Amino acid sequence: MSCDETVDCGRRRLLVATAAAGGVAGVAAAVPFVASMLPSERAKAAGAPVEVDISKLAPGQMMTVEWRGKPVWIINRTKEMLDSMAKISDQLADPKSEKNMQPEYAKNATRSIKPEILVAVGICTHLGCSPTDKFKTGAESGIDPNWPGGFLCPCHGSTFDLAGRVYKSKPAPDNLEIPPHMYLGDAKIVIGEDKKA
Ligand code: FES
């Protein structure tokens, strides 16, 4: 797939501005409009759901969108990635995601609605740094010769797998949070809402 303005193939990551992603409530669509809002309306817009088009997100790629001021990662996991996740349960602190860090519909082996698509808040559950994607595997990752791909928090070294599950004996106490979300068709996700209006 070719690189364009929505997917940065070099870094496999791109912050897609809320307005560009077409927030459901038209967040920040026009400055004068926002300026004329009442405070309560502004607060509502800041927490509004965000609609994201993932049609250009190829297998193995990741994009980042902003929701409620937080980075939310969307990753299109390959079959190899999914297979690797299934083999490391004994290395994870909460492999079955039994703690309350995800909605019920994401309380499964892949922590997702569709197995290949992960939607997770990209904020470390230790002290709030943003982990870095480390999708290269093995020695090439610079983490561990057996590294299967995942995320590394640069602040205190917590590591997470490709479902945002934290490894054992790391500073982060919990898996990454899965936000409420739902699909509008095959290639559109709404983040911040999980029921059809
Ligand atoms: S903030 Fe991530 S390990 Fe401390």
pLDDT digits (tens, 9 = 90+) for 99-123: 999 999 999 999 999 999 999 999 9
| Binding site membership of 126 for ligand 1 (Cβ less than 6 Å) | yes
Q: Where are the beta strands (DSSP E) in 58-171?
A: 62-67, 70-76, 117-121, 132-134, 150-152, 159-160
Q: Enter the DSSP assignment of 50.
A: E
pLDDT confidence of residue 39: 57
**Would residue 196 count as lying in a domain?**
no
Q: Which atom of ligand 1 is nearest to the CA of 131?
A: 2
Mutate to test the pocket of ligand 1, among 123, 130, 155 (most ligand atoms within 8 A of CB): 155
Residue 67 in this model has a pLDDT that exceeds 70: yes
Task: Cite the active site residues.
Answer: 156
pLDDT at 196: 52
| Within-domain flag for 45 | no
Is residue 130 within 8 Å of 138, Cβ to Cβ? Answer: no
Within a domain: 28? no
pLDDT tens, residue by residue, 125-184: 999 999 999 999 999 999 999 999 999 999 999 999 999 999 999 999 999 999 999 999
Task: Give the β-pairing of 159-160 and 132-134.
Answer: unpaired
Query: What integer pLDDT is reported at residue 46 of this predicted model?
Result: 73
Name the more confident of 79 and 17: 79
- Residue 87 burial (C-beta neighbours within 10 Å; 0-12, 13-18, 19+): exposed
| Bridge partners (DSSP) listed for residue 71 | 66
Closest CA to 82 of 134, 131, 117: 117
Ligand 1: centre distance to CA 162 (Å): 17
Flag whether 43 is in a domain. Answer: no
The string of pLDDT tens digits covering residues 4-57 is 444 444 444 444 433 333 344 444 444 454 555 565 666 656 789 999 999 999
Domain of residue 171, residue span: 15-20+50-191
User: Is residue 63 in some structural domain?
Assistant: yes
* Residue 4, domain member (yes or no): no
Pocket of ligand 1 contains residue 158 by CB under 6 Å: yes
What CATH code is carried by the domain that includes residue 181? 2.102.10.10
**Residue 79 domain flag:** yes
For ligand 1, atom 4, the nearest C-alpha belongs to 156
Total number of domains in the chain: 1
Q: What pLDDT was estimated at residue 195?
A: 79
In a domain, residue 90? The reply is: yes
149: closest CA among 52, 59, 15? 59
DSSP state at residue 166? B
Q: What is the pLDDT of residue 47?
A: 81
